[in-house]
Amino acid sequence: MAEIMANGLARRTLVALVENKPGVLARIASLFRRRGINIASLAVGASEHSDLSRMTFVAEGDPSTVGHIAKHLDKLIEVVEVSDITDNNVVWRELAMVRVRATQESRARVIQLANIFRVSIVDVGAEAVTMEITGDTSKIDSMITLMQEFGVEQVMRTGRVAMLRSALSQGGEDGEYGDQISSNINTLEGFDSGSV
């Protein structure tokens, strides 16, 4: 099931394989914008095909509207494949770089905590260290919370990248958004356009 957030909006994860051409991101963004869907995170990079990129979106919005967005994306000519993998068995990771204040006195403790969480330190300065955290969102969230007492100076997160688990592992159903068809009824109030 989609995560339903405190404000009643749903959060869904989508993965798309798209042509690597100028303007493609604008087309995709335009579909989200028009429907009032917030892109909570977006990761884009090369795929196994030299001319196609793979994108992972985390989208937040009205449950029926986000539930339907994969179908709209699939209509874009340059979107070769798209699946809503929210309800599937997926592996997903996020990477974050966090710069934490670390003075003479606190540095040892910061590094100790980093080690416990298997977080690597990638840069050390006089007053701060930068750590690289890979994992799921909650691991990154807890690490950042933990570091608050020392002072978190900067956070840079990549957003999720996700992939369906391969067939050998115990999985959910396959990732066709078609399964959700009949439950995706528009639930917005004032559906009528009210126009003349």
Asked if residue 93 binds other proteins (CB under 8 A), the reply is no
Say if residues 165 and 115 touch (Cβ distance below 8 Å): no
**Which range, of 67-75, 88-96, 97-105, 128-136, touches other proteins by CB under 8 A?**
67-75
For 66, residues 6+ apart whose C-beta sits below 8 A from its C-beta are: 2, 9, 10, 11, 12, 37, 59, 60
Ranges of H-type helices in 52-158: 63-75, 107-116, 137-147
Which of 106, 180 has the CB closer to other proteins?
180
- Rule CB under 8 A: choose which of 54, 68, 107, 160 binds other proteins: 68
Q: Which residues contact 187 (CB under 8 A, 6 or more apart)?
A: 62, 63, 64
The residue assigned the tokens 């100028």 is 22
Task: Report if residue 27 touches other proteins, rule: CB under 8 A.
Answer: yes
Which CB sits closer to other proteins, 16 or 131? 16
Positions 5 through 24 that interact with other proteins (CB under 8 A): 18-19, 23
- 132 pairs with which residues across the strands? 97, 120
Q: Which stretch binds other proteins (CB under 8 A): 73-81, 94-102, 113-121, 135-143?
A: 73-81
Is residue 47 a contact residue for other proteins (CB under 8 A)?
A: no
Give one DSSP letter per residue of 30-66, joined into a string.
HHHHHTT-EEEEEEEEE-SSTTEEEEEEEEEE-HHHH
Closer residue to other proteins, CB minimum distance, 91 or 185: 185
Nearer CB in complex with other proteins: 78/141: 78
- Tell me: does residue 184 bind other proteins (CB under 8 A): yes
DSSP state of 100: E
Report the nearest approach of other proteins to the CB of residue 142 (Å).
Answer: 38
Nearest approach, Cβ of 174 to other proteins (angstroms)? 16
> How far, in Å, CA of 5 to CA of 48, rounded?
34
Residues engaged in binding other proteins (CB under 8 A): 18-19, 23, 26-27, 30, 34, 68, 71-72, 74-81, 178, 180-186, 190-196
